[in-house]
Amino acid sequence: MAAQQQVKLTPAKAFQNARSEFKEFSIPELKEYEALFAKFNRKNDGRLSLEELKLLMESVKAPQTHLGLKAMIKEVDEDNDGEIAYREFLLIFRYAKTGKLQHEGLKAIAESVNVGQVGVGGAKGFFEAKAAASTDSTAEKDREYREGVKAKNQQKAASRAAFKEKASLFQ
C-alpha cells in the first residue's frame, strides 16, 4: 500500500532529490545515470519494470533469465513493488562503489556506464578518466560542471547581444 501512496516525482524533482541524497556522485555522473534510466524507462512512469530491465541488461551484453531479473530487482527494491525506481537505480551505483552489490547483473549495469567507447583509444580514454576520477573530488567535478554551464550561458548572452546589434541596423 505504501508504494501506491507515493507521489510521482517529475524528472527534475527526482534529479534534485537524488543530488541531495547521493552526494558521492558528481552532477555529470548523475546526469549520465539519469539518461541511462530514462532510455530504458519506456513507459515513462519513473520505474523500470521487469521487461524494461531485461532490455537494459541485453543492451549491456549481460542478458538474464526471468529469475535472475527478479533477483536483481529484489536486491535494490526498497519499497517491494517489484520495479526499480530512479532512486533505487542509483543505489546500484552506490552499492557498486562500496562493494555491496551481490548480483553479477547489477554489477554489469554499474560497469556499463562510461564504457561505451571502443578500441584502444577508447580504452585509453576510459582508464585515464577513471584515474582522474579517483584523484578528483566530487566537489571539484561539480565546480567544473558549473563553470562550464556558466561559460555556455555567457557565450549565449554575447551571441544574443551581437544579434540584437545587427538586427537594429535593419530598423
CA torsion sign for 76, 78, 82, 85 is: negative
Place of cell 513493488: 81
pLDDT of residue 114: 54
Q: Which of 77, 127, 128, 81 is nearest to 106 (CA)?
A: 77
pLDDT of residue 87: 86
Q: Which of 20, 25, 55, 21 is nearest to 40 (CA)?
A: 55
pLDDT of residue 119: 39
pLDDT of residue 116: 39
pTM over 0.75, yes/no:
no
| Burial of 156 (C-beta count, 10 Å sphere; 0-12/13-18/19+) | exposed
Read off the pLDDT of residues 90-142 as tens digits, 9 standing for 90 and up.
887 887 777 776 666 666 666 666 533 433 444 455 555 655 555 556 677 77
Band (36; pLDDT cuts 50, 70, 90) = confident
The one-letter code for the residue type at 168 is S
Separation between Cα atoms, residue 56 and residue 60, nearest integer Å: 6
Read off the pLDDT of residues 39-81 as tens digits, 9 standing for 90 and up.
988 888 888 888 998 888 888 787 778 888 888 888 888 888 8
